Amino acid sequence: MNMTHYMSLLASNQPWNLLIFMAIPVICAETLTITEFFIIFNRTQRGGLRTLNKLVGIFDGFYFTGIFIYLLITAVIPLTSAGEWHTWVDVLAVGFYLSGVIFLLPIALMELGIIFKYKTSEEKMKIHFILVGGFLVVAHIAMIFGMVNPEIVNSMSSMPSMK
């Protein structure tokens, strides 16, 4: 069975790639989600849970930005230049995975007071929740398409036409 580049990345260099590219960002996002529910439910403005949420948000935002830059340079640009994508499913899986930066980087910037600094705490809480949810959606779409065998969508022999 052929794999998408997304699954190939996670399967190679075990267990390091799985930890670096999947476990760390997703566990951080799940930590954000769980703490987010408690913060919203209790309208928490400060305290240990809020501090954890803030620190994880800053860490995950910059960590995933590093992943985005690394994979853009070492995978996306070379694969695109060489026409080596394994069908549109492969492009979709990697694209959705990398689009996580659209949601995680703003969380870090918001927590540092760089963006949304004139929003009320209620508005920031809403934005934060939407961004966390957005990341979880694109990460799960990437996982779903990443697990698809590209051959069932299109024969691998037709790849030169994707240039």
Could you tell me the sign of the dihedral formed by the alpha carbons of 32, 38, 40, 46, in that order?
negative
In this model, does residue 156 exceed pLDDT 60? no
Q: Does 159 map to a domain? A: no
pLDDT level of residue 155 (50, 70, 90 thresholds): low
Domain that holds residue 27: 5-151
158 within some domain = no
The answer on pLDDT for 65 being more than 50 is yes
In a domain, 162, yes or no: no
Q: Quote the number of domains for the chain.
A: 1
Instruction: Let me know the angle formed at the C-alpha of 125 by 107 and 48, rounded to the nearest 5 degrees.
Output: 80
pLDDT at res. 163 = 46
Indicate whether 17 belongs to any domain. Answer: yes
| Inside any domain, residue 113 | yes
pLDDT tens, position by position, 2-58: 888 999 898 898 999 999 999 999 999 999 999 999 999 998 889 999 999 999 999
pLDDT at 150: 85
Render pLDDT for 90-147 as a digit per residue (tens, 0 to 9).
999 999 999 999 999 999 999 999 999 999 999 999 999 999 999 999 999 999 999 9
